[in-house]
Amino acid sequence: MPVTGITERRRFTANITKEIAEVRLERGVTAALITGQAFASMLTPVDTSFLINSQYRDVRVIAGKSVKGAVGYTAAYAAAVHAMSGKLKGKPRGRFGKTKEGVEFGGGTGKGKYWDPAAEPGFLTKGFEENKAAVDAAMLKAMTL
């Protein structure tokens, strides 16, 4: 007696396996980003909370072949703060003066100290690089069946 439908079953199994892999991969990338983002949040400077509240996470499936993820900040000054040297760390926040027109600039709120409470320059990069094992573990856990 001939067996029929094996080709269809193989195709069905391959499609289901591909769907599971794509979902798991997207979930894994998301878990890794959430983990790295959490560590970066602990290192992000907080003055008015605008910077830390501007965090975003974006996960995209590209043509069913790959998944790309990104984490960042939408605050216009985020890149500048991230790239700062941190030489003011621990010093009281002050006003930096006025323009020729008499308008104050810089200095944040004037409350607390720069880079408080535990912030560091390069906070986003450090959040992922210094916690690579935890980020990798989060991805692996999400990928495991």
Residue 108 has pLDDT above 80, yes or no: no
- Within 13 Å and on the Cβ side, how many CA atoms surround 66? 2
C-alpha closest to that of 30 among 62, 2, 59:
59
Assess whether pLDDT exceeds 70 at residue 118.
Answer: yes
Q: pLDDT by residue (tens digit) across 73-104?
A: 999 999 999 999 988 888 877 766 677 887 77
Task: Work out the angle between the directed axes of helices 6-43 and 132-143 (0-180°, nearest 10).
Answer: 150
Instruction: Select from 33, 18, 57 the least CA-distant residue to 142.
Output: 33
Burial letters 9-44, b for 16+ CB under 10 A, else e: eeeeeeeeeeeeeeebbbbbbbbbbbbbbebbeebb
pLDDT, tens digit (0-9, with 9 covering 90-100), for 40-68: 999 999 888 899 999 999 999 888 778 89
The structure's pTM equals 0.77
Which two tokens mark 139? 């991805």
